[in-house]
Amino acid sequence: MISLIKLLEQKYKECPPSTQDIELNTKNRDATVKDYNYGPLNVDEPGDYWKKVADKWNTTEEAAKTSLCANCTAFDISPRMLECMPGETSDDDGALGYCWMHHFKCHSARTCYTWAKGGPIDEDEASYDWQKRNLKAAIDPEPIEPPEEKNESLRNWFKKEDWVRIDTQGNITGACGTMKKGKKTTRCLPRKKAQSLTKKQRAATARKKARSKKQFVKNTKAAKVSFKKKKK
């Protein structure tokens, strides 16, 4: 009999349904257009799209135009995810990747209101880690419905938590998901959590992951991250 752990590990590595189902992908994309202004529809003729985004973010149009799916923390272009997407994945304007916030194939030249810096995801291990965190939504064959509380949680996760990389010496070395290709993936923690630990504690959890050959390695007790919503 297959163990629960093995079953979950298999689920972590399955292609998200919307990469295989055009109708589901379209529904999730259209929901993101409606609720989070995914666009522009035509990247060559955006109209006033970037002005609206700039107004939403209280910034300039020039700054808004640099905040694309291509460099969003949730934009997955890892080798395994590209294999999940049938057909051509690039054009003259950019390439398709998988959005872990809204669960559809998004285009690198577009953006949406929930953009957050730190991407793209270009390593399989990081991709599997995101799928593990988003397991229910990642394997759900139904369209994603965005209740306000859920998406406030998503915004907190991707933007406010500000995940950073920790090396085996305990140093904070940059944004999570920015590891150079060919390097062994280091531990990622929310910045506040990382800063609350001593350098020795950060090193301990990073070394624990580096020593293991497993895909997913739990944090040390001191570095454990709780994702439960705080009571007011």
Number of separate domains in the chain: 2
> Are 165 and 116 part of one and the same domain?
no
Average pLDDT, the chain: 79
> Are 38 and 127 part of one and the same domain?
yes
Indicate whether 10 belongs to any domain: no
Which residue has better confidence, 222 or 226? Answer: 222
> Are 46 and 90 part of one and the same domain?
yes
Rounded to an integer, what is the distance from CA 68 to the centroid of its chain? Answer: 13
Indicate whether 9 belongs to any domain: no
Indicate whether 228 belongs to any domain: no
> Are 47 and 99 part of one and the same domain?
yes
> Are 87 and 169 part of one and the same domain?
no
Give the per-residue pLDDT at 86: 77
Largest CA-CA distance found in the chain, in angstroms, rounded = 58
pLDDT tens, 180-196? 655 666 788 888 889 99
Give the per-residue pLDDT at 10: 53
Of 146, 170, 198, the domain-final residue: 146
Phi, psi of 75 (to 5 degrees): -90, 115
> Are 58 and 106 part of one and the same domain?
yes
Mean pLDDT of 145-149: 44
Mean pLDDT of 204-209: 89
Core vs surface per residue 77-113: b (16+ CB within 10 A) or e: bbeebbebbeeebeeeebbbbbbbbbbbbbbbbbbbe
Burial (0-12, 13-18, 19+ Cβ within 10 Å), 75: buried
pLDDT tens, 17-29? 888 888 989 999 9
Write a three-state SS string for the chain: CCCHHHHHHHHHCCCCHHHCCHHHHHHHHHHHHHHHCCECCCCCCCCCHHHHHHHHHCCCHHHHCCCCHHHECCEECCHHHHHHCCCCCEECCEEEEEECCCCEEEECCCECCCCCECCCECCHHHHHHHHHHCHHHHHCCCCCCCCHHHHHHHHHHHHHCCEEEECCCCCEEEECCCCCCCCCCCEEEEHHHHHHCCHHHHHHHHHHHHHCCCCCCCCCCCCCCCCCCCCC
Mean pLDDT of 5-9: 48
> Are 20 and 135 part of one and the same domain?
yes
> Are 138 and 186 part of one and the same domain?
no
> Are 132 and 168 part of one and the same domain?
no
Indicate whether 232 belongs to any domain: no
> Are 181 and 122 part of one and the same domain?
no
Which residue has better confidence, 107 or 159? Answer: 107
User: Domain span at residue 192?
Assistant: 161-211
Indicate whether 227 belongs to any domain: no
Which residue has better confidence, 156 or 146? Answer: 156
pLDDT tens, 52-104? 999 999 999 999 999 999 999 899 999 989 888 877 777 788 889 999 989 99
> Are 166 and 140 part of one and the same domain?
no
Q: Cα–Cα distance between 23 and 168 in angstroms, integer? A: 44
Question: Given a cut of 90, is residue 128 above it in pLDDT?
Answer: no
Are residues 197 and 223 in contact, defined by beta-carbon separation less than 8 angstroms? yes
> Are 23 and 118 part of one and the same domain?
yes
Q: Cα–Cα distance between 103 and 201 in angstroms, integer? A: 34
For residue 165, the cross-strand partners are 174, 188
Indicate whether 193 belongs to any domain: yes
Of 122, 146, 170, the domain-final residue: 146
Indicate whether 11 belongs to any domain: no
Phi, psi of 132 (to 5 degrees): -60, -45
Indicate whether 63 belongs to any domain: yes
